Amino acid sequence: MSIMSAIYTTLSTTSAITNLVGARIYPNTLPQDVRETNKYPAIMFETVTNPQDHNMSTDDTPEHPTIAMHSYGQTYQIADDIRTQVITLFKDFSGEVTGSGITFQRIFLNDIFDQYISETETHDLIVNTIAWGNRIII
């Protein structure tokens, strides 16, 4: 399983998140029907950067992608409620994601900002995280 899949599993199995967005949790892009029919609130997360570190003895070094987590809502308050739960879930998060083979050494909050999408009249509140993690090789 990838770090992105582990992030999805963590989001989609946390009731504080699913109580707000239901199953509307998407990796990499919002589906077109969500954007066109305003099926919000929702979360979308994507890899912003994924630096590759190398070591002469092994390439089995921790991954540490920057992942942007977008919290979408028709009102600022709804989007902010979602983002607050995302921050609560991931701030200083560490440990294995059950059944994923991924162990997060730590997830750091890197940047927080807001934007308004006038075309869909949607608030997009973003948290950039740096997720340090290892795959467990079995």
Enter the pTM of the model: 0.85
| pLDDT over 70 percentage in the chain | 86
Band of the pLDDT at 37, cuts 50, 70, 90?
Answer: confident
Closest CA to 62 of 70, 54, 73: 54
Model confidence band, residue 136 (pLDDT cutoffs 50, 70, 90): very low
Percent of the chain with pLDDT over 90: 51
pLDDT in tens, 87-130: 999 998 888 887 777 888 888 898 999 999 998 899 999 999 98
Q: Which string of DSSP letters, residue by residue, matches 94-106?
A: -EEETTTTEEEEE
Query: Which residues on neighbouring strands pair with residue 104, listed in sequence order?
Result: 95, 133
Q: In what order do the strands lie in the sheet with 122-135?
A: 25-27, 42-49, 66-73, 122-135, 102-117, 95-97
pLDDT tens digits for 50-87?
A: 766 556 565 555 667 889 999 999 999 999 999 999 99
Greatest pairwise CA separation for the chain in angstroms: 52
Domains and CATH numbers, the chain: 3-55+63-135 (3.30.2000.10)
